[in-house]
Structure 1
């Protein structure tokens, strides 16, 4: 089977909890299945790059966000959008270990690579 990568851009946070949870759930299931995953935090999901913020997220009948993030980070990558971070005064020193801050150039590079599927939530 060909190597595949899944790039997911999540724009929703606590403002749209079901959409947010769905993005993290799909990313974690893909990572657990052996798919290379790159999850991009943009818009209101940018807050989840900060320590403790994922633990504050609540949605009945959904897996805890910190658990989903740990599953993604175990074999994938979480990236915080540069502009989204700047708009929220978030800097590299503020984010969780393993979360990088990067911009549109890298996002486009990832989604344009061969054998990549991209989703936006």
Structure 2
């Protein structure tokens, strides 16, 4: 059985509930001893920008910026889709802790041996 887990996220401020829940699940997976990656694609790449998530706070949940920081501090990796980032003109030098700009091949490599995943 794989000890890897992927959370794929495609939204940011247009659906803050999904964005928040994605990082709640990612933290839970990491807390369950899963080597966990959050893959940000399309609009979700904006979450990787320093300061972008600071004002996102869904009722009943920790602030999204805090969830993201906790995830990175616990060893989780945030894969940021390189083409999606480029399309939006984002600066790699301005990413949050734990974020790494990658192509699709890096995600495929991580999941290749079999890996559960959820998408938001």
Q: TM-score normalized by structure 1?
A: 0.88
Q: Which residue matches 1:23?
A: 22
Once the two structures are superposed, residues 40-62 of structure 1 have per-residue CA deviations (whole angstroms, 9 ceiling, x without a partner) of 11122211111111112132222
In structure 2, C-alpha distance between the alignment counterparts of 1:103 and 1:44, rounded to whole Å:
16
Q: Which residue matches 1:39?
A: 38
Long gaps (5+) in structure 1: none
Conserved? CA contact 1:31–1:71, under 8 Å: no
In structure 2, C-alpha distance between the alignment counterparts of 1:48 and 1:59, rounded to whole Å:
15
Deviation at 1:3, TM superposition (A): 5.1
Deviation at 1:71, TM superposition (A): 2.1
Q: Which residue matches 2:98?
A: 98
Conserved? CA contact 2:69–2:97, under 8 Å: no
Counting only pairs closer than 5 Å after superposition, residues 7-86 of structure 1 correspond to structure 2 as 7-73=6-72, 74-86=74-86
In structure 1, C-alpha distance between the alignment counterparts of 2:37 and 2:113, rounded to whole Å:
12
RMSD: 1.5
Q: Which residue matches 1:117?
A: 116
In structure 2, C-alpha distance between the alignment counterparts of 1:34 and 1:70, rounded to whole Å:
18
Structure 1 outlier segments of 4+, above 3 Å: none
Conserved? CA contact 2:2–2:113, under 8 Å: no
